[in-house]
């Protein structure tokens, strides 16, 4: 996953530093948003390959950010990274639109593996379209 751009929405500066170190050591670019509002704005105007989203933010809860992203058409894969690690918390995050969920504390190699998997899946996504011309109909697959 070379040159992937990651947005990390996290209010805890220490946690952000830790993730930045892991991600940048692996050769990835990380943009940090220190609150939910800024993260939501960045995700809407810049293109990122993966978004890492903290669930517990003081200004805007992570699930709310996720809902707004999906409603506005942002399909960037989201890895929810949270101290809320119970099975019900993970299920709620995934059902809320996250593509993956990782509980804190985490191992660096697992974080990177999950980021690579999300990026790989997103890179190979195909979209289908039906083209109609008179009585003819074609199903086309478009790889982005």
pLDDT at 138 over 80: no
Predicted confidence band at 134 (pLDDT cuts at 50, 70, 90)?
low
Backbone angles phi, psi at 102, to 5 degrees: -130, 130
Enclosing H/E stretch for 51 = strand 50-54
Radius of gyration of the chain (CA): 17
Residue 46 is part of a domain; what is its CATH number? 3.40.50.2300
The whole-number pLDDT of residue 70 equals: 92
% of the chain surpassing 70 pLDDT: 84
pLDDT at 41 over 60: yes
The whole-number pLDDT of residue 142 equals: 43
3-class DSSP state for residue 63?
Answer: helix
The whole-number pLDDT of residue 140 equals: 47
pLDDT tens by residue, 61-109: 999 999 999 999 899 999 999 999 999 999 999 999 999 999 999 999 9
Copy the structure tokens of residue 33: 């948003």
If you ran DSSP here, which 8-state letter would residue 100 be given? E
Measured CA to CA, the distance from residue 72 to residue 47 in angstroms comes to: 14
pLDDT tens by residue, 11-28: 999 999 999 999 999 999
Distance of CA 116 to the CA centre of its chain: 11
Copy the structure tokens of residue 44: 């809407």
The whole-number pLDDT of residue 143 equals: 41
Number of structural domains (the chain) is: 1
Given a contact cutoff of 8 angstroms between Cβ atoms, the answer to whether 114 and 99 are in contact is: no
Question: In terms of residue numbers, what domain contains 15?
Answer: 5-143
Strands (DSSP E) contained in the chain are 5-9, 29-33, 50-54, 78-82, 100-103, 126-133, 136-143
């Amino acid at each position: 996953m070379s040159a992937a751009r990651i947005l990390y929405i996290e209010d805890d500066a220490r946690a952000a530093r830790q993730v930045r170190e892991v991600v940048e050591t692996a050769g990835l670019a990380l943009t940090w948003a220190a609150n939910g509002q800024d993260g939501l704005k960045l995700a809407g105007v810049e293109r990122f390959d993966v978004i890492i989203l903290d669930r517990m933010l003081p200004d805007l809860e992570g699930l709310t950010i996720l809902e707004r992203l999906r409603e506005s058409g942002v399909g960037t894969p989201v890895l929810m990274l949270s101290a809320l690690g119970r099975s019900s918390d993970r299920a709620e995050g995934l059902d809320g639109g996250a593509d993956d969920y990782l509980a804190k504390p985490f191992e660096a190699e697992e974080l990177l593996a999950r980021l690579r998997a999300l990026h790989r899946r997103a890179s190979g996504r195909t979209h289908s379209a039906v083209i109609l011309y008179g009585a003819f109909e074609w199903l086309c697959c478009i790889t982005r």
